[in-house]
Structures are given as structure tokens and as C-alpha cells.
Structure 1
Amino acid sequence: MADKHGAEKHIDDVTGVETTGHEWDGIRELNNPMPRWWLWTFYATIVWGIGYMIAYPAWPMLTEATRGVLGYSSRAEVAKELQAAKAAQTVFVDRIAAAPLPDIIADPELSQFAIAGGAAAFRVNCVQCHGSGAAGSAGFPNLNDDDWIWGGSPDEIYKTIAHGIRFEGDADTHVSEMPAFGDMLQPDEIKQVAAYVVSLTGTPADSGMIEPGKQLFADNCASCHGEDAKGIREMGAPNLADAIWLKGEGEQAVANQIRAPKHGMMPGWLSRLGEPTVKQLAVYVHSLGGGE
């Protein structure tokens, strides 16, 4: 038997099925037809695809895709879900806005919501300076420890976040400024003060500088940092006797700060984020374990 091209057709002796003409190592390929169920499934997928393109957005154009007769939009679905989530949160947000911070912390449901919301707000607005774990970048405070210049109670944390530190855009911001003692003390005197400060938590290079440094500290620094060097919160002066250093550790770093102090700035977030979010941030920061 020959096909339309004149080539002889081959029929398999065992099955009686025509072969395709392909042969590998004496093995011939049978030309069996596709199963009917497979063909009908294939045709059904074609019909389904055509129907889907008619019903839903499918073909991309220059500025948008075809809309489909059902008018479905994934963007509209997302917007609807976000609106529903926002509506569900409104109840908690309104309660947080109305409640004082101690009441929020005492309420397990509100506290959990505030911590979660504060953590989210922290990741968006605060990690750039304080780090993702709130341990602080170089020159920025660690919020996990117990060293609080302006206080670590929930209300005090709230005030710091709300109004900032040395933030010109807020009249209620925290303000403190250490004078540059490089204009007031001699270089050797600065070294002596640094030696005394380091001696409060460690061992300076020259122990003979401690006593004269202590007297210089009492004359020039105790009015802000206190006679025990543990800081005076109302003055915004840090505790120098807790081995926690913001601007650098060691005698040289302490001497540099005495000579020409660095002053950081933190913006006030109340006008940017609103009171409920600032409250949530305060609860979250307090929950990190370093609060009072």
C-alpha cells in the first residue's frame, strides 16, 4: 500500500496499525490516533480560553488591557480588600486615639494591636536611623537598652516621638545642647575630664588624671550631668556612668565629644503620622524591653 506521495505504507504485523515511517534501531513508531477523551479535553480548553478572553481582561493594548464583559479588575479587588481591612482596624484605631497610653498597654487586645501597628510604622519611618531591630545605627540611640535621656515611660516615649529632639518644626520639641569645651578648657584638662568619665565604668590610660578630672567635672559638667554623672533628665543630659555610649566609646571619643560635641536631631512625627500611629509607636518601643 502506498500513500499519496507514492511512499509505501507499513502496517505493524502485531497490532495491524499503520506506522508513521519513523524507525529507530528497528523499532517502528505506531500511528495511533489520540484518545477521544484527550481530544475533547483539548477542544474544551480552547472554548474555555476564548470564553475567558471575552469575560475577563486579557489582551494588552497601548494604555490598558481589554476590560472583559464582566468588568473584573484585580486593582479594584485589592482596593476593596484594603478598604475592608481599614474598616476593620478603625474600631481599634478609634479606641487607641481615645485611650491614655497606660490603658492601652493594660488592655491585651489593644496592646497587641498597638504593638503590631507600631512595629509596622517603625519599619517604615524609623529603621533608617534606629535599625531594623531598634538597636541603633552609629550615632543613633539603641531603643532596647535602659538608657533614656528623655525618659522611658510610655508617656515620655510618646512625647519624644511626637515632638522630636531639636526639631525646629515643633515648639514642644526636646532641646538640649552641650557647649563646646574646647573653647573653655585646655587640651590637658579635656583629657583629664575624659579620664574621669571613663573611670566611672572602666580604666583610663592614666589613673593620675582621674582626680583632677573629677574636680574639673564638678566645676564644669555636674550642673547638667549631676554630681554622680548619672545625668539630669530635665536638662537632657545623658547618664555617663552606665557604660552606654551614643557618640563613641573610649577616652578619645569622650574627649572629642567634650571638645566639640555632636548633637543629633530627631523629627517630630505627630504632624506627619497622627496621634493614633504615634501612640502605637510608643507602645511598640516601650515593649522592646528598655522602657521604664
Structure 2
Amino acid sequence: MDHNEKDIDDVTGIDTTGHEWDGIKELNNPLPRWWLWAFYATIVWAVLYTVAYPAWPLVNRATGGLLGYSTRGEVVQQIEAVEAQNATLTAALASVDLASLSEDQMLNRYAIAGGAAVFRTYCSQCHGSGAAGAVGYPNLLDDDWLWGGEIEEIAYTVRHGIRNEVDSDAHWSEMPAFGELLEEQEITNLVEYVRSISGQQHDAAMAAEGTILFEEQCTACHGEAGMGDDSLGAPNLTDAIWLYGGDREALTETITYSRFGVMPPWSPRLSDAEVNAVAAYVHQLGGGEQPATE
């Protein structure tokens, strides 16, 4: 058939494209006019959009567009508007006496809501989204605090951190690596003694041997009864709460090699209001301690 001659379908009377599969021919139906106009309109719209708005990526930025619109700029404006609305509360939170924060219900609610956001952003990576902690990262829901659980003490810990070399006011203490000071059997006896005062299954004879070792080596920080000292970050060894584990293997590793957990200071990255807010949030989770009464 001549290429210029149309192949007309006998049934529909419409010419075909010349393609045929198993006797089935493809009709050469034209596209609907409305579809063509819509297609042309999208092309025109795309051209106008790329001229008016940021569109084409360059080396270190994108074309700005004639309108100069920026989604980042819009977000910044929205954040600034919210901050302006909350400026009075934020200023009050930055300078509030944390011990009396709960007396101001509006400010306290504002602090807890803001503190929850701060916690999810900066603290949940270590302490967990629910603040239950993990091995080596304290559970903030219980009432066992290494450096004190009053709201002001929590704020201090957040602001300055623990055993870091950035903030000179960071909490600081260091447990000796007793593997360099004691024999293996002495460490084993100490482990049994610690298990005995924490109410765990233990070897009584070894625990008795460990009693003197504990008095000589450990009471300076953990106290004679093993109750700990939050001014030194020394944990209470008589309860069932363990930062690194209370089984024999974990206790042996702790005594042999010591522990040296580090927390960064958040004051360079968080404002005073944000530090106070996250302290308020953590304090009300359930384990925060109330100020001691005289």
C-alpha cells in the first residue's frame, strides 16, 4: 500500500495508524480538542511558574523568581509571629524562680508544653521518646536521680551537662577503675556484697568478704549504707534501679573498668527559657523531687 494512501477501517470508517496485531488495527483517532487545550495550558502555566517562583536549581541556590517568594521565609514569618505573641510568657519563663513555677498555672502550662517540644528535639535521642532511658542513659520517669531531681537541679544539669570538657560548671565525678587496684576475687566479693544490699540473690560468704572492701573503697562516695550521694553523682546501690545493669556481669564490668557517662551542656544551644521549660517538663513526668522541707 502507498504510504500516502490511508488505510480506512471497514467498521468505523476511521483511518488507522498502519499498526496491526493479530488482525487488530489501531485507529488513528485524534486527541480530544479539550485535552489538547488543557495540555497547552499546562505548558504555559509551567513556563510562567518557573519565571515567577523559585524553580531551577543552580550550584548553591535556586532561581529566585520575579515574585521573590520563599517557603522558608514564610515559615520564618510565622515563627516570628508566634514568638511575638508569646514574648511576655517567654520572658517570664526565662527569669522565673523555678521553685515557684507551679504556682503560676498559665506559665507552668506554657513551660511544660514548650519543654515537651524541646525534649523531643534534643533529649529523646538518648533518653527515649517516653523518657524511660536505656542502658547508660538515665530513666527520667523514676525518682532515682544521680545529681538531684528538684526542678532547679534538673535545670542546672540541662544547662551545664555532666563530665564534659566544654562547660567548666558541668557536674563532675569519676569512679576509679578498681581492676587496677583490686584482685579479681576481691572484685567478685564486692559484686556479691552490692547484690546483697540491693536485695538480689548472692553468695553470703563472698558478700561478707566484700563488706570490708566496700567500707574501705566505696563508702566515700556511695555512703556507709550504699545509699549514694547526689552531690557526687554516686548512685544508690540499695534499690533495683541500675543505670548500667545490676546483674553480676554488669556489676563486674562497672567495678573493674568504672563508668564515665558524659552529657553535653545545652546552654549554648538552648535559651534560658528553653532550659527552664524542659526542666519543668522533665520534673512533672513523675519522678521529679520536691524541695526538701526544713
Q: What is the TM-score when the length of structure 1 is the normalising length?
A: 0.76
- 1:49 and 1:187 map into 2 onto residues whose CA distance is 76
Query: Residue 88 of structure 2: which of 88, 91, 95 is its match?
Result: 91
Deviation at 1:168, TM superposition (A): 1.4
Structure 2 equivalent of residue 218 of structure 1: 215
Equivalent in the alignment of 1:245? 242
Q: Which residue of 2 aligns with 1:203?
A: 201
**Structure-1 separation of matches of 2:256 and 2:65:** 71
Kindly state the Cα deviation for residue 60 of structure 1 after the two structures are TM-superposed: 9.4
Moved more, 52-61 or 278-287: 52-61
1:73 Cα shift? 4.9
What is the CA–CA distance in structure 1 between the aligned matches of 2:69 and 2:48, rounded to whole Å? 14
- Does structure 1 conserve the Cα–Cα contact (< 8 Å) formed by 2:141 and 2:286? yes
Change (3 A) 1:208 1:77: same
Q: String of CA shifts for 1:57-101, please: whole Å, max 9, x gaps.
A: 899999999988876554443332122112122221101112111
Given the alignment, which residue of 103, 108, 124 partners 1:106? Answer: 103
CA change 1:145–1:55 in 2 (3 A) is same
Q: CA RMSD in A?
A: 3.7
SS at match of 2:263: coil
Aligned residue number for residue 189 of structure 1: 186
Q: Alpha carbons of 1:49 and 1:100: their partners in 2 closer, same or farther (altered >3 Å)?
A: same
Instruction: Report the 3-state secondary structure (helix = DSSP H, G, I; strand = E; otherwise coil) of the residue aligned with 1:271.
Output: coil
**Contact map agreement 2:148 2:231 (CA 8 A) in 1:** no
Letter in structure 1 aligned against 2:130? G
Instruction: Indicate the larger mover: 179-188 or 48-57.
Output: 48-57
Q: 1:174 aligned to 2:171? A: yes
Give the aligned partner of residue 115 of structure 1: 112
The sequence identity of aligned pairs, in percent, is: 49
Larger Rg: 1
Normalised by the length of structure 2, the TM-score is 0.76
Name the amino acid aligned to 2:283: H
Rounded to whole Å, the distance in 1 between the matches of 2:165 and 2:264 is 8
Letter in 1 for 2:261: G
- Is the CA contact (8 Å cut-off) linking 2:101 and 2:107 kept in structure 1? yes
Q: Which amino acid aligns with 1:203?
A: Q
How many residues of Structure 1 are paired with residues of Structure 2 in the alignment?
A: 287
The residue type equivalent to 1:197 in the other structure is: V
Could you give the per-residue CA deviations for residues 3-58 of structure 1, whole angstroms, max 9, x where no partner exists?
xxxxxxxxxxxxxxxxxxxxxxxxxxxxxxxxxxxxxxxxxx99999999998789
Alignment equivalent of 1:260, drawn from 241, 257, 262: 257
Unaligned runs of 5+ in 2: 1-41, 290-294
Work out which of the residue numbers 118, 126, 130 in structure 1 matches 2:123: 126
